[in-house]
Amino acid sequence: MKALLKLSRPINLLIIAATMVVMREGVVRGFLERGLAQLLAQDGGGFSRGDLIVPEGFGPQLPLWLFIMLVLSTVLIAAAGNIINDYFDTRIDRINKPGEVIVGRVVKRRVAMTAHLLLSGLGLLLGLFVAWRSGQLRWALIPAFAIGALWTYSTRYKRQLLIGNGLVATLTAMVPLTVGLYEIPLLRTWFATGPVIGMPTGEQYAMEASVQDLWYFILTYTAFAFVSTLVRELQKDMADIKGDALDGCRTIPIVWGMKWAKGIALFHITVLVVGLLALRMYVLRDSFSYWYIGIGIIGCLLLSAGFTYQAWSRPEQVRAGQLMKAAMVLAIGYALFIRSLP
């Protein structure tokens, strides 16, 4: 059981779950709380957040129990994808990381396949239930697409040029996007009921149904997840080039060479850095964002770029990927501070 859990990559699963929780509590709830803070700054008359009379249901609109099921669905499908990826990567892993091979040694191949099918099936059922129960049945396509994409990635697209990297980046970007796809339509419906904020003086303020800024936050995270994952996948391809080549994979470093792979990775890191600098200069001008983004996130990105440029051995490429993952985790953490932004 311990080996099977390791096969599912629990740290990555925790990051997925944390991302969804932070999107809900940091971005969605933070967006709403930020609106209250702006109201207090303009017309608060010395009142604090606790003095306000907020309407019933203020906050994220997807019920908590359904949100937990949505997170479980996503995590179970991701775990199944990790297991099936290792199932089909046994030959590659025996070359790239022979001491870490689990399938076929510690976990029998039929056990790994059974675990994949069970986790995928349960994740699909939970995803379908959330889509139906929330009244947004169209989003049942999300878990179905994820399962199909993870299977075809492991069996076919991972070994093809560009397609595999793009598919993994798309699936990663869907993690924060899914929260927005569920929450924002429900928020629009709630705003349509005409909720009002009450002051202790008896004054009331109607809450406007503008969620455009919320979409900006969600889509920014989605774009960051997509581009940063592309870089991570390139770094992994460069680290695994020996085993991938012997298995017939057509990754960028194999087909176009390491110099091109490094150049593409560095180009995408540059895109991330320039995008974050633009956000810091034109949108997030407060001192906290200046230092958090500039020192924390951009600092990790630049270190990852430096290691990528200099790396020629597998451990060096792995280290570059770890720094990229650190930048991704820091970016997720920033959402917890959205509610306090000016």
How distant is the alpha carbon of residue 306 from its chain centre?
Answer: 24
Q: pLDDT grade, residue 200 (50/70/90)?
A: confident
Quick check: 150 and 77 in contact, CB under 8 A? yes
CA distance 306 to 265: 11
How does pLDDT run across 4-32, given as a tens digit for each residue?
A: 788 888 999 999 999 999 999 999 998 88
Quick check: 332 and 18 in contact, CB under 8 A? yes
User: What is residue 263's predicted lDDT score, i.e. its pLDDT?
Assistant: 95
CA distance 210 to 336: 21
> Would you say how long the chain is, in residues?
342
Q: pLDDT higher for 38 or 92?
A: 38
User: What is residue 201's predicted lDDT score, i.e. its pLDDT?
Assistant: 72
User: What is residue 167's predicted lDDT score, i.e. its pLDDT?
Assistant: 94
Residue with tokens 């699963």: 13
Greatest CA separation for the chain: 74
CA distance 36 to 301: 34
**Domain extents for the chain?**
2-340
pLDDT for 44 beyond 60: no
Helix residue ranges per DSSP H, the chain: 2-7, 10-22, 29-43, 64-88, 90-96, 109-133, 141-155, 163-191, 212-239, 241-246, 252-255, 258-282, 287-291, 298-310, 314-334
pLDDT for 91 beyond 90: no
Task: Note the pTM of the prediction, 2 decimals.
Answer: 0.92
What's the rounded mean pLDDT across residues 91-109?
A: 70
